[in-house]
Every structure is written in C-alpha cells, then in structure tokens.
Amino acid sequence: MHGMTSSIRIGLIGQKFMGRAHSNAWGQVNRFFDLPRHAELHTIAARNGAELAAFAERWGWKHRSTDWKSLAKDPDLDLVDIGTSNDVHAEQAIAMLEGGKHVACEKPLAGTLDDARTMRDAAKRRKKQHTFVWYNYRRCPAVALAWQLMREGCIGRVYHVRAQYLQSWGGPDTPLLWRFQKKSAGSGAHGDLNAHIIDMARFLVDEEVAEIHGAINKTFIAERAIPTSDASLSGSGGAKKGKSDVDDAVLFLASFRGGAVASFEATRLATGRQNANSIEINGEKGALRFEFENMNVLEYFDNTLPARTAGWRRIMCTSSAGGHPYAANWWPDAHVLGYEHGFVNMAADILRVLCGEKALVPLPDFEDAYQTQRVLEAALISAKERQAIKLADVR
C-alpha cells in the first residue's frame, strides 16, 4: 500500500439508484485499488431528509445535508459527484465548479444540448478542475478489453457499428416517473439509453460521428398514472393521469468521420429484453461483440485466420495475465464481475486522475460528453425534420 497520507474528500448528491451505485463505488475503491490517495465518503446530500440518516449510516457517509448548495461552499470537499435527474445537472455542476470543486456527473451530461453546452463551457474556463461523466459501461471487463484490442488494431478498418440498448420496463402500467417527463429528463429512452451506446461507439471506434442519416422518434404511451411517491422506480401509480412527453423508442442511422456506418436503437418497450445493451463492430481484420447481460465475455472474430477454422471466439475477460486494465484488482480468473464493478473501476480512474496519474481507460469529461449530447440532439432533429443532419450544424 502507498502511505495513505491524504484523502480525496467526496460529496455526493442523490440517494436513490445512482446514489447507491456511487456510494458503493467510493466505498469499494479503497479496498480493491492501491492508489496514492483514498476516497473519503465525506458528505451525502439529498432532498428527502427522512431517508437521509439511514442512507448515510448504511453507506458510510460521515456528514449529510438536505441542501445540496452547501456542498459548493464546503472547503473540505475536493470532488462533488452528481447522481440526480438530468434537469438539475447543469445547475448543480456549475455551482460546484464555481465553488472550486472537481465534478463527476451522471449521464447524459444534461437533458438539453443548451444545458450541456453551458456545462462544457463552465468546465473549460476552470483548467485546474477536472470533470468526469459516468459512462460506466466503458469499464465493463469486456468493453475495456475491446478498447485495448481496437487500439492495437485487431479489427483494422471499421466498416459497421451496430449498437442497441433494449429494455422493457416502460409499458402502460409504469407510472409517470421523472424519466417520462421532458422537463426533468430531456428525452426518454434516447437520452437514457442511446446516450450510453453513442458514448460506447465513439469511445471504441475513437472517432466522432459526422452525420445522422435518418431517425425515428416514437412515443407509444402518451399518458401515464401520476406516481404516489415521487420518482421511485417501484412507485405505483395513482388514479390521476399525466402526459408522458418523451420518446419510448428512438432509432437512427449514422456515419463516422472515417466512413464507418452505424445503427443505434434504444427502447423501453422491447418486450422480452430487460437490459440488453450490446454493440457489434465489424472491421476489415475482424469483429468484436459485447452484450451487457454477459458482461464478462467479449466475442472476437479474427478474420485473418483461414476460413476453414475461423469462427467467433468467446473470451472470458477476467484474466490479468495479458494486461487487462482492471482484472488484477479483482478475483481469480472467471470469478466474474457485475454491474457495480464498472462504477468501482471508474472511481479508481477518477482518483488516479486527481492524483496526477493517467486513467487506465480514458475517462469522459464534460467536453467528451458534450460530443455525445450533440449526437443525441442531431438524431432528434433528424427525426423531427425527416432528413439527414450533419453534426457540424449542431453545436
């Protein structure tokens, strides 16, 4: 162990789904990674004061507050982590940047491109402060390996990217959570799910999207029951109905600057699919395929092998022997990892950057996540105008 002389003191806003995922990541990272400075779970902030004490106790937060603004003024905090709904990311992130904090924010960067741009600009003005966006799937064992293999040229020139993020929880019985309201979410399955696979595609191909060639934006369920308890995923609906004004599914076609073509599909109504986040990349020398529900496995087709014996190889990405970025920090080979480990791996890389070291796998900052937001916006414009949209025209 390094001598743990100092810590990075963290404040977190939000105590629900991501509040738990992030609290776990900041707690676990010190146990599994040997870093120059450790994460200190300093302050948790959230609106619901009644639940806050138990949350702080359970996850090991020293202090708690129902006033997130107080985190910006707290001289003890180094990094503020934002796990709230998309409509408040900009206000909270900018306040923290102005308070001199490093900021880690959940994805999508914001609900709207205007908010995302304001956040990007605020980050740009503060050169000494770091920003991070939780595109956690970059750090699943198989995706991290795919990234390494692609940088080594294993599939050569990229022809096709086929990305899908399919869920099915958004049927007519699901109440009007914040995720179904434009004012709080910005968009529906699009900003929630396409955001992840756009980031994954840009990250793996290592190129920007140049053009959207066409898109479908579809809302199947226009009214939903108003939930009895605000914003709880399990909250059951009351009798009163409200308008769901976001998409349930968005599909679009795109091309990358280098010429590769891509398809993206996000939906909350893919009956039979629960969290099917997948990407396949077909190149001149080979192909790669990742499916989140089997997140420790990367499929690889080596096109340089003789046709007689060539075939899809199933790689268990848990071995540290070949230099996998994170495997050595976890368990023996094939003692598989789960959803939460992507967040822990990301927390480790954030700490590395704040200690002046390089992230093992590149971390998206506000500028990077703004590029993903431009792709999201271009697809919405393409669907609305029923025409191709060049990314150069969406800023």
| Residues 170-199, mask of contacts with ligand NAD (x by CB under 6 A) | ----------------------x-------
Query: Token digits for 297?
Result: 């496995």
283 and 273 Cβ atoms separated by less than 8 Å: no
Query: Token digits for 274?
Result: 């629960």
**Minimum distance, C-beta of residue 195 to ligand NAD, in the bound complex (Å):** 8
| Interaction between residue 364 and ligand NAD (CB under 6 A) | no
Q: Which of residues 52-91 bind ligand NAD (CB under 6 A)?
A: 68, 83-86, 88
Q: Which of residues 233-292 bind ligand NAD (CB under 6 A)?
A: none
**Minimum distance, C-beta of residue 342 to ligand NAD, in the bound complex (Å):** 8
Helix (H) or strand (E) holding 86: none
Three-state secondary-structure class, residue 267: strand
Query: Token digits for 96?
Result: 């923290």
Q: The tokens 């968005």 sit on which residue? A: 250
Which of 11, 19, 186, 325 contacts ligand NAD by CB under 6 A? 19
158 and 260 Cβ atoms separated by less than 8 Å: yes
d(C-alpha 141, C-alpha 58), whole Å = 28
**Minimum distance, C-beta of residue 279 to ligand NAD, in the bound complex (Å):** 15
| Interaction between residue 134 and ligand NAD (CB under 6 A) | yes
Instruction: Please report the DSSP string for 33-96 in residue order.
Output: ---SSEEEEEEEE-S-HHHHHHHHHHHT-SEEES-THHHHH-TT-SEEEE-S-GGGHHHHHHHH
| Interaction between residue 94 and ligand NAD (CB under 6 A) | no
d(C-alpha 133, C-alpha 130), whole Å = 10
d(C-alpha 189, C-alpha 179), whole Å = 9
Q: Which is nearer to ligand NAD, 33 or 134 (by Cβ)?
A: 134
Q: Which is nearer to ligand NAD, 45 or 209 (by Cβ)?
A: 45
Q: Which is nearer to ligand NAD, 117 or 190 (by Cβ)?
A: 190
Q: Which is nearer to ligand NAD, 122 or 315 (by Cβ)?
A: 122
| Residues 96-115, mask of contacts with ligand NAD (x by CB under 6 A) | ----------xx--------
Which of 8, 12, 13, 317 contacts ligand NAD by CB under 6 A? 13
Query: Token digits for 330?
Result: 């976890």
| Interaction between residue 15 and ligand NAD (CB under 6 A) | yes
d(C-alpha 185, C-alpha 110), whole Å = 8
10 Å Cβ neighbour count for 125?
9
48 and 88 Cβ atoms separated by less than 8 Å: no
Could you tell me which stretch among 46-54, 250-258, 259-267, 352-360 binds ligand NAD (CB under 6 A)? 46-54
Could you tell me which stretch among 12-20, 151-159, 212-220, 361-369 binds ligand NAD (CB under 6 A)? 12-20
Residue nearest to ligand NAD (CB): 16
d(C-alpha 39, C-alpha 25), whole Å = 10
Three-state secondary-structure class, residue 25: helix
Which residues of the shown chain bind ligand NAD in the complex (CB under 6 A)?
13-19, 46-48, 68, 83-86, 88, 106-107, 134, 136, 192, 231
